[in-house]
Copies of this chain bind each other. A is one copy, B any other.
Amino acid sequence: MNREEDSSHTEHLDAFFHPRSVAVIGASNKKDSLGNVTFSLFYHGPFAGDVYPVSVSSEEIQGVKAYRSVRDIPGDVDLAVIVIPARAVNPVMRECVEKGIPACVIITGGFSEVGEVEREQELRTIINESDIRVIGPNCVGIYVPATGVDTVFLPKEKMGRPPAGHIGLISQSGAFVSAVLDWFAAVGLGVSKVVSFGNKIDVNYSDLITYLSEDDETRVITIYMEGLEYGRMFMKAAREATKKTPIVILKAGRSRAGAAAAASHTGSLAGSDRVYDTAFKQSGIIRTYSSEELFDVSKAFLWQPLPSGARIAIITDGGGSGVMAADALEDWGLVLAPLQEHTKEHMRASFPPYCTVKNPIDLTGDADIERYEIALRAVLDDENVDAIVLIFLFQVPTLGDDAVERAVALLQQGTKPVVVVAAGGTYTQRRVEELEAAGLPCYQTPERAVRAMGALCSHGAWRQKHSQG
């Protein structure tokens, strides 16, 4: 049976993410070398298990006894991380198999991506004839903050590490992962498991999607994809996974020029973009068209419940932002909720006459937090409203420093999903941090917020149709 067609084969993946012991094959004392950085990340980092350096040239690495081969290591090894030159990889892989190591990350490049097809074929044979699971080759591997597994060999001063959280990230591109992790670290967004699998000779999208959808720590599966080989298997895994966990994809190589570039980058046969589009739709996958959109959407899934419909209330203190949000609703198939008469009546009785009480609700530039509270309570209670786009222009003098605290207190009593728009400088940025700490996803523009809401609604509808219980 073809290994890649066996999607039940994910139980061994635990060893990648929760290993009790790790062998770093190619560990080195040479400062800033790949083998040195990789060993340090495990040995000096938060990883709590045993770390064994393996080296053919050094007796010890950073003061730790080194082994010439994994076969010489006395204890069990759950995970091998390979950072030796490409020509030495296959013999070492045989030793890993002999040792009974269940999981192996091959960081080393120099396989099919540079035309070394035979080398990659030999590696494939070794893998197929054993039980070992492999991530890579030609990849940056794995990052799991909760267990301290970190094979991303970029220096910490140039690439920050995000905290433990709930985004499960899969990427075909290592560079993409490194930029994203760095950016997440800067904004404090947390990840559960991150995998960049490069040539993906063994562990593939389907394995990881299935695994992450069953992982309690992962609330959204976020994917950067260039190409896909096993379409049927992927769709099967994705259809099953999206019954519990949203999947958001950025598929690159969608244009002719991009597809050609993808072919020389990861050897991906991009295929017709329309085929991907159909496959994603039929699997309940949310497709996005830039990394910004990918993470805007993922952030909403992370923190907000799914709406039961697509009728949106917009609350704003700046009319222009309300107009732009209303425009964006139509782009994503959402509708301006037709507010109930008594909702409008209640607001009309409470607000100055120049406020607009029909949707978008415009509290105007002298809005204080009381006015927001009245509007928020009204739309939370209105049965015609499924979800809320909440726009704060914090620049107005009437919104005090307690605005976020009070809005959050009120919103936590409701169950309708909320996305927030807040654009501005330093003062606004502080308010945004408060909002996001309370689980309210914030966006710089109405368009980005509404796009995220569109994804919540679309996945909400998919789950209503496809989830059993």
Residue A469 lies at the interface, judged by CB distance under 8 Å to chain B: no
Residue A173 lies at the interface, judged by CB distance under 8 Å to chain B: yes
User: Which residue of chain B lies nearest to A265 when distances are taken between CB atoms in the complex?
Assistant: B319
B182, A424: Cβ atoms closer than 8 Å: yes
> A412 to B200, alpha carbons, bound, how many Å?
41
User: Which residue of chain B lies nearest to A253 when distances are taken between CB atoms in the complex?
Assistant: B323
Nearest CB in chain B: distance from A338 CB, A = 11
B424, A186: Cβ atoms closer than 8 Å: yes
Q: A396-B154, A397-B154, A425-B186 are in contact. Are A175 and B365 (CB under 8 A)?
A: yes
> A447 to B289, alpha carbons, bound, how many Å?
8
Residue A448 lies at the interface, judged by CB distance under 8 Å to chain B: yes
Q: A173-B320, A176-B318 are in contact. Are A425 and B252 (CB under 8 A)?
A: no
Interface-side segment among A3-11, A124-132, A212-220, A350-358: A350-358
User: Which residue of chain B lies nearest to A336 when distances are taken between CB atoms in the complex?
Assistant: B257
B292, A176: Cβ atoms closer than 8 Å: no
B183, A423: Cβ atoms closer than 8 Å: yes
> Of residues A317, A326, A445, which shows the largest number of chain B Cβ atoms within 10 Å of its Cβ?
A326
Q: A360-B261, A395-B159, A395-B178 are in contact. Are A183 and B424 (CB under 8 A)?
A: yes
> A336 to B261, alpha carbons, bound, how many Å?
10
Interface-side segment among A59-67, A73-81, A426-434, A455-463: A426-434
Nearest CB in chain B: distance from A267 CB, A = 10
Q: Which of B260, B321, B327, B448 contacts A175 (CB 8 A)?
A: B321
A395, B182: Cβ atoms closer than 8 Å: yes
Q: A175-B320, A318-B173, A354-B113 are in contact. Are A330 and B423 (CB under 8 A)?
A: no
Residue A158 lies at the interface, judged by CB distance under 8 Å to chain B: yes
B393, A178: Cβ atoms closer than 8 Å: yes
User: Which residue of chain B lies nearest to A155 when distances are taken between CB atoms in the complex?
Assistant: B397
A322, B290: Cβ atoms closer than 8 Å: no
B254, A327: Cβ atoms closer than 8 Å: yes
User: Which residue of chain B lies nearest to A360 when distances are taken between CB atoms in the complex?
Assistant: B261
A319, B173: Cβ atoms closer than 8 Å: yes
Q: Which of B157, B327, B426 contacts A186 (CB 8 A)?
A: B426
Interface size on A, residues (CB 8 A): 83
> Which of chain B's residues have a CB closer than 8 A to the CB of A336?
257
> Of residues A32, A171, A255, A424, which shows the largest number of chain B Cβ atoms within 10 Å of its Cβ?
A424
A224, B445: Cβ atoms closer than 8 Å: no
Nearest CB in chain B: distance from A86 CB, A = 11
B320, A256: Cβ atoms closer than 8 Å: no
> A175 to B322, alpha carbons, bound, how many Å?
11
Residue A120 lies at the interface, judged by CB distance under 8 Å to chain B: no
> Which of chain B's residues have a CB closer than 8 A to the CB of A330?
255-258
A252, B290: Cβ atoms closer than 8 Å: no
Name 19 extra pairs, CB < 8 A, besides A154-B397, A173-B318.
A158-B394, A158-B397, A159-B395, A160-B425, A174-B318, A175-B321, A175-B365, A179-B318, A179-B393, A182-B424, A182-B427, A226-B320, A254-B327, A255-B327, A261-B322, A261-B323, A261-B362, A262-B319, A292-B448
Binding site for B on A (CB under 8 A): 32, 109-110, 113-114, 154-155, 157-160, 171-176, 178-180, 182-183, 185-186, 224, 226, 250, 252-258, 260-262, 264-266, 289-292, 317-324, 326-327, 329-331, 335-336, 353-354, 356, 358, 360, 362, 365, 393-397, 423-429, 444-448
Instruction: Pick the 6 closest A-B CB pairs, nearest first.
Output: A175-B318, A173-B320, A265-B319, A186-B425, A258-B327, A255-B330
* 11 A-B pairs with C-beta separation under 8 A: A159-B425, A160-B425, A160-B426, A171-B320, A179-B424, A180-B423, A226-B320, A252-B324, A255-B327, A261-B362, A291-B324
